[in-house]
Amino acid sequence: MVYLMDKIKEVMEKIGALDQESMRLARERQDTLTKPQRSLGILEDLSVKVAGITGNFMPEVKDKVIITMAGDHGAAVSAYPQEVTPQMVYNFLRGGAGINVLARHIGARVVVVDMGVAADIEPHQNLVVKKIAYGTANMTGGPAMSYEDAKKSIEAGIEVLESEIEKGVDIVGTGDMGIGNTTPSSAVVSFMTGQEVEKVTGRGTGLDDEGLERKMGVIKRALEVNKPNREDAIDILAKIGGFEIGGMAGVMLAAASRKIPVVIDGFISGAAALIAYDLKPMVKDYLIASHLSVESGHRAILDYIGLEPLFDLKMRLGEGTGAAIAMGIVEASCKILQEMATFEEAGVAEKEGKG
């Protein structure tokens, strides 16, 4: 078990500061391109951020990967039955889900990971099996998982990212699937950001008022019963988290350690980002927030970490769907940096005076 801790630690220690020189060169180049300086706004900033992450002042975003992690939850409060988790995993593997459509649209591959679905999934070439258990335990009666399993889930995420690197990864997006996984996510968000349960608990896939009440009750009970240690993110993950949440945190840490930008999706990815950020605050510099989810509590996550979402399309599907759209925008930003002509190349006159 020392080995496991070492693996997470090792990855954490490899995460360094952004490459300031690459960022300076990227900004300098942006300022020579045939457009008024800064007129592409956040598109320019994104390209500079990716330059800093990758250490390349003209980074290429070609190999795009969405890692969609699935898990089940012992304390799920959802409008859908738990059997939907494996059914949706099959849907992912057949290419029929929202994330498949959007990933194809931007030319990304989808890697589906069974982190802890409460059913066996038939083997498939696009399925990575990292099953920690058949769903978490009910966190209203004790921890959702053991401390060891929490570490294992993060480590599994690290392994998934690292084995994808062999196939090529210029940018990675995180996504989730797990009926009821807004329940542990809201618990994690409330506990870690200090916001009231009422403020960060939403309707998930579409709970009615009674369901929402029940969900908040479950979260409060889980927090009371487990009393997580605020100084130990792995303890928090173990007591009130989920396997896919730990897995995505592992993906984020591993990507940051390998200088790969990570586009985070919505609320569940955000809960994972909180865990990763708590373990290693510098991971923040490697994260790109895609959208602002409809799920209440998502804003609290982004504010806590200090990230601004690129857009708000009132989405709340998860799976990595917001990340996929954002990834297309990040790729565009890097193409601007690479492909646009400079004033000199195009023979275009520059701004008059300093006006």
Active site residues: 319
Rg (CA), the chain: 20
Window 62 to 81, contacts with its own copies (CB under 8 A)? 79-81
| CA count, 13 A, side-chain hemisphere, 33 | 22
List of residues 6+ apart from 179 with CB closer than 8 A? 72, 73, 76, 78, 80, 81, 82, 84, 85, 205
Should residue 112 be labelled a site residue for its own copies when binding is judged by CB under 8 A? no
Among residues 310, 323, 327, 330, the one that binds its own copies under rule CB under 8 A: 310
Should residue 98 be labelled a site residue for its own copies when binding is judged by CB under 8 A? yes
Should residue 122 be labelled a site residue for its own copies when binding is judged by CB under 8 A? no
Give the residue with the Cβ less far from its own copies, 248 or 334. 334
List of residues 6+ apart from 16 with CB closer than 8 A? 282
Among residues 75, 88, 169, 238, the one that binds its own copies under rule CB under 8 A: 88
Should residue 4 be labelled a site residue for its own copies when binding is judged by CB under 8 A? no
Q: Name the minimum Å distance from CB 341 to its own copies.
A: 3
List of residues 6+ apart from 54 with CB closer than 8 A? 19, 22, 170, 259, 260, 261
Contact stretch for its own copies (CB under 8 A) within 159-167, 237-245, 296-304, 339-347: 339-347
Should residue 84 be labelled a site residue for its own copies when binding is judged by CB under 8 A? yes
DSSP of 170-220, one letter per residue? SEEEEEEE-TTTHHHHHHHHHHHH---HHHH---TTT--HHHHHHHHHHHH
Window 185 to 244, contacts with its own copies (CB under 8 A)? 205-208, 210-211
Give the residue with the Cβ less far from its own copies, 224 or 352. 352
Q: Name the minimum Å distance from CB 186 to its own copies.
A: 16
Long-range contacts of 305-314 (CB under 8 A, 24+ apart): 305/273, 305/274, 305/277, 307/264, 310/42, 310/46
Q: Which residues bind its own copies (CB under 8 A)?
A: 33-37, 39-43, 79-81, 83-84, 87-88, 90-91, 94, 96-98, 100-102, 104-105, 205-208, 210-211, 294, 310-317, 321, 325, 328-329, 331-332, 335-336, 339-341, 345-352, 354-355
